[in-house]
Amino acid sequence: MTARIGVITFPGTLDDVDAARAVTVAGGEAVSLWHGDADLKGVDAVIVPGGFSYGDYLRCGAIAKFAPVMDEVIAAADKGMPVLGICNGFQILCEAGLLPGALTRNEGLHFVCRDQWLRVESTTTAWTTRYEPGAEILIPLKSGEGRYVASEETLAELGGDGRIVFTYAGDNPNGSALDIAGISSADGRVMGLMPHPEHAVEALTGPSDDGLGIFYSALDAVLAAV
């Protein structure tokens, strides 16, 4: 069996092709999903990729959460389907209520574009089982609104429940609370990540192939559920 991973395209999305390629490199079947269709085409997992959905008018992800496809994603996530939001996708998942908190303007108000070291804090999510706890991976980061914020209560809950999945290793590039780069839902099936693992699946074209573990992990999770 080959896991079928859906990749959503919104107007303004620019990393959907890269995300689909990452799925293929990992050995899965990438399935294109359109924002205006309330249809997940029977996929086993969903990736909400990066870009500037609907031009990032209002707040990043604030319009995308109303797309017909997102109603289906929310319903599927509630039933346990693995869902990954990358960069703008992370913002969309927060706006849609699948993840807590919000992503705001970077500290210093500058767009950050660089290769970033991350520390793997949790290996129990559907997207991180291929990593060792405490491993450091090199992943590209490119965002202007990547500063994760949440209430003190939410931050304490995320930390206490092991839902902080990735943190920035070394210096914090955007001022995120607790150095947070990625978090998960309570069941570990939904994950949001600000840096871009789809740009680090081959050492020839990226700073590393460290991002590949995220896509391998998802394929493992899908096949384990069969």
Residue 224 pLDDT > 90, yes or no? no
198 part of the active site: yes
- How does pLDDT run across 27-59, given as a tens digit for each residue? 999 999 999 999 999 999 999 999 998 887 778
Identified catalytic residue from 72, 95, 145, 198: 198
pLDDT in tens, 185-197: 999 999 999 999 9
- pTM of this prediction? 0.96
Round the average pLDDT of the chain to a whole number and report it. Answer: 95
Does the active-site annotation cover 110? no
Question: What's the CA gap between 115 and 94, in Å, rounded?
Answer: 24
| Residue 155 pLDDT > 90 | yes
Overall average pLDDT of the 73-99 stretch? 97
Nearest-Å Rg of the Cα atoms of the chain is 16
Query: How many residues belong to the chain?
Result: 226
Residue 62: the pLDDT is: 84
pLDDT exceeds 80 at position 15: yes
pLDDT score for 12 = 93
Q: Respond yes or no: is residue 60 known to be catalytic.
A: no
Catalytic residue among 60, 72, 87, 145: 87
Q: Which of 94, 95, 145, 196 is catalytic?
A: 196
- How far apart (Å, rounded) are the C-alpha atoms in residues 96 and 103? 13
Q: CA angle at residue 52 from 93 to 140, to 5 degrees?
A: 80
Structural domains of the chain, with CATH: 4-224 (3.40.50.880)
Residue-level pLDDT at 54: 87
| Spatial contact of 41 and 33, defined as CB atoms under 8 Å apart | yes
pLDDT greater than 80 at residue 13: yes
Nearest of 50, 48, 31 to residue 40 by alpha carbon: 31
